[in-house]
Amino acid sequence: MQKKLYRSLEKRIIAGVCGGLSDFFGIDATIIRIIWAVLALFYGAGIIIYIIAIFIIPNDPGYIDMK
């Protein structure tokens, strides 16, 4: 079965993009967030890419909120 990239609804801080990437690549979400912050601070491209990713990557359809 092929893995698909979704925005995480469980590990979300802003929109779940970093949480979704961490699930997809199998690494900690904090590492993805640090990389994203460095890209945003030094190159400015991180912010633009994040905004584009919010609209392109769909929400996780398998998430069930138990609150």
The answer on pLDDT for 66 being more than 60 is no
Q: How confident is the model at residue 64 (pLDDT cuts 50, 70, 90)?
A: low
Domain-embedded: residue 30: yes
Domain-embedded: residue 49: yes
Burial class for 61, CB neighbours closer than 10 Å (0-12, 13-18, 19+): exposed
Q: Which residue has the tokens 């993009």?
A: 17
pLDDT recorded at residue 14: 87
Tell me the pLDDT tens digit for each residue of 25-61. Answer: 999 989 988 988 888 888 777 788 888 988 998 888 8
Task: Please tell me the total count of domains within the chain.
Answer: 1
Range of the domain at 49: 17-56
Kindly give, in sequence order, each residue whose CB lies less than 8 Å from that of residue 49, ignoring residues fewer than 6 positions away: 39
pLDDT recorded at residue 37: 87
For the entire predicted model, the pTM comes to 0.76
